Structure 1
């Protein structure tokens, strides 16, 4: 079997919506989202968090709007943001209307939770008038009482039914510009719910394992849940929920996508865990390189291997590679071929320079190709 064959992921066919200028669903790239954790009325602090997420490559940012002060601040936040802003709304339909008027690209709202049919119509009208899409966000921890009484506990069937009930409300109001999520903190429950929803509708799906935990725990749980769904072709946009700064969610999101070959951004480092054979301090070297190369957004592969056992083989598969050698001198590979040697003291600066040079060359070639079209 060829490498291409076993890496192939066949995505579920879904309709496409727009979140601002970002397409979600269909054949669009899987987008990465995060959510600010500032008090939204703190405009300066919220914009600062969005700026950090933008620098990490985020595609869409969500902002909570629990009160009038938040929706009043949203206009300035939306204006300052370089990416679409989603307004997170719970229960109060007026906040949704205010957010749409303030320029939100999308409303995260469950139409069945905001009251009468007349209120739903008002929110749908505001969304249509201002070009907003919506996200129906079902959560295992806040299912409707009727469903919990009927099913006995949160389960995939109850979550899918909840999502489809909310979807029907929007469809009955001739509104179909929405995506759906069915999140749970339990990985098995979340995955099963998404699998059921993927079979039941063709709306784009927003993936996430909610309340996943801290940086390490949450990263592992999210990678298992989101990764297994994406591998099965399910999912159109993702948010990694961490008890950590939003920029960390973005980083992990891109690492999940890079690991599955679904999107490529920045430097992908292949490195060994190190052992007694290492000819240089691999762990420290990789730690420093990750920080010093964080500004590179161009997709580049780099291998950092401590000895010659696997080093040459890994270097053949990366654009730039370093394999540990004897006497403090190490082999540098370019495009998989041995190119030159470098000593310990200059290695990190040298690798950073090689990566930056390669990134500049790739970007210049892209610009030239675009100009020639």
Structure 2
């Protein structure tokens, strides 16, 4: 797939857009003013493979915490600002790497000018974030009374022009909705309209299972079309899951190498081992490995070394026993209760080579 070559911006030490790798973002759900809890969660996100972290800044206490949080982490931090432009000025003074604002909701033109002037001085990019659920009524009225792709893009472009009028172009754009089809249509239209980098996401996607499906379909479709420069998978719960899912979406499209890829077959009547349990054990242990590696867990010899011959290492079940294989070649046969241990012996051998 050929990615659209968008304008490149820099958030901390991470480039977004152009030929830069597609980055994975998440957002802390701690109270930002709780510096210990927030920095601890940031570390967990980094360990999971996060590239950029966003923090909610609802008040001055949260804004003041940025300086101490920055000291304790190297990952780029984005401040999420609404309504009070002074909070944006405070976090800029304290070393924030980027802002997420809606220029239309931080007051009049003078407030926008103050924020843009400060951001420009410190070379801090601004993300314009438009959500279908909070779309300005004038755009709803103009486009039929409900959110449409055209309404989302028109709203975003109004904000873009506010920044461009101030000679500011370090801009990133998001157009999010919980409706997957609407989100895809909006990003397609925006990609045709501007050359700014796009931040992909399905907002309010839901809890883990429904949210993963909606995010994979929406974000994955756009990435497969070459649209998108950074992403966040929005899931209710632990944000670490967002990062892991985001990386998996990129891996599945060949857009990122990060940690192992697990291949496992569906069970059928030929299976004579407890494949579901074995696959779960393997998946849990693989979470600790950061090296790119393809690992296969197959239920029988039919779906064993042959169909999984491209895997770096793998196992295939038999009756009370199984095979360990490497690149489709059988290495040895072991008892079922030794399959996982034997697999990881082979994995460790591959990593140490």
TM-score range relative to shorter protein:
over 0.9
What is the aligned counterpart of 1:269 among 262, 285, 293?
A: 262
- Partners of 1:133 and 1:168 in 2: CA distance: 15
Q: Which residue of 2 aligns with 1:323?
A: 316
Q: Which residue of 2 aligns with 1:131?
A: 123
For residues 54-92 of structure 1, the C-alpha deviation after alignment (integer angstroms, 9 at most, x for no partner) is 111100010000100100111111221231111000121
- Partners of 1:122 and 1:353 in 2: CA distance: 59
- Partners of 1:308 and 1:271 in 2: CA distance: 13
Secondary structure in 2 matching 1:33: strand
Q: Which residue of 1 aligns with 2:55?
A: 63
Deviation at 1:352, TM superposition (A): 2.0
Using the size of structure 2 for normalisation, the TM-score is: 0.97
Deviation at 1:100, TM superposition (A): 1.2
Secondary structure in 2 matching 1:313: coil
Deviation at 1:48, TM superposition (A): 1.4
Deviation at 1:280, TM superposition (A): 1.9
Q: Which moved more, 1:158-167 or 1:126-135?
A: 126-135
- Partners of 1:338 and 1:143 in 2: CA distance: 58
**Match status 1:31 vs 2:17:** no
Deviation at 1:145, TM superposition (A): 2.2
Deviation at 1:360, TM superposition (A): 3.5
Secondary structure in 2 matching 1:41: coil
Q: Which residue of 2 aligns with 1:285?
A: 278
**Does the 8 Å contact 1:136/1:167 carry over to 2?**
yes
Structure 1 residues without counterparts, runs of 5 or longer: 1-8, 362-373
Secondary structure in 2 matching 1:355: helix
**Match status 1:342 vs 2:326:** no
What is the aligned counterpart of 2:307 among 295, 310, 314?
A: 314
What is the aligned counterpart of 1:299 among 292, 296, 320?
A: 292
Q: Which residue of 2 aligns with 1:233?
A: 226
Consecutive aligned runs of 4 or more in structure 1 exceeding 4 Å deviation: none
Q: Which moved more, 1:185-194 or 1:317-326?
A: 317-326
- Partners of 1:79 and 1:350 in 2: CA distance: 43
What is the aligned counterpart of 1:163 among 153, 156, 159?
A: 156
What is the aligned counterpart of 1:215 among 208, 218, 228?
A: 208
- Partners of 2:24 and 2:117 in 1: CA distance: 28
- Partners of 1:171 and 1:11 in 2: CA distance: 25
- Partners of 1:139 and 1:216 in 2: CA distance: 22
For residues 84-120 of structure 1, the C-alpha deviation after alignment (integer angstroms, 9 at most, x for no partner) is 1110001211111111111111100112221222211
Deviation at 1:176, TM superposition (A): 0.9
- Partners of 1:351 and 1:126 in 2: CA distance: 55
**Does the 8 Å contact 1:157/1:193 carry over to 2?**
yes
**Does the 8 Å contact 1:303/1:314 carry over to 2?**
no
Using the size of structure 1 for normalisation, the TM-score is: 0.92
What is the aligned counterpart of 1:178 among 171, 180, 189?
A: 171
| Structure with greater helix share of residues | 1
Q: Which residue of 2 aligns with 1:105?
A: 97
Deviation at 1:131, TM superposition (A): 2.8
- Partners of 1:265 and 1:313 in 2: CA distance: 25
Secondary structure in 1 matching 2:307: helix
- Partners of 1:261 and 1:208 in 2: CA distance: 19
Equivalences, count: 352
**Match status 1:73 vs 2:57:** no
**Does the 8 Å contact 1:54/1:82 carry over to 2?**
no
- Partners of 2:158 and 2:352 in 1: CA distance: 50
CA RMSD of aligned residues (A): 1.2
- Partners of 2:307 and 2:295 in 1: CA distance: 9
For residues 247-285 of structure 1, the C-alpha deviation after alignment (integer angstroms, 9 at most, x for no partner) is 000011011111111112111110012123223211111
**Does the 8 Å contact 1:315/1:322 carry over to 2?**
no
Deviation at 1:182, TM superposition (A): 0.3
Structure 2 residues without counterparts, runs of 5 or longer: none
What is the aligned counterpart of 2:325 among 328, 333, 348?
A: 333
Q: Which residue of 2 aligns with 1:84?
A: 76
- Partners of 2:164 and 2:325 in 1: CA distance: 57
**Match status 1:259 vs 2:249:** no
- Partners of 1:120 and 1:247 in 2: CA distance: 33
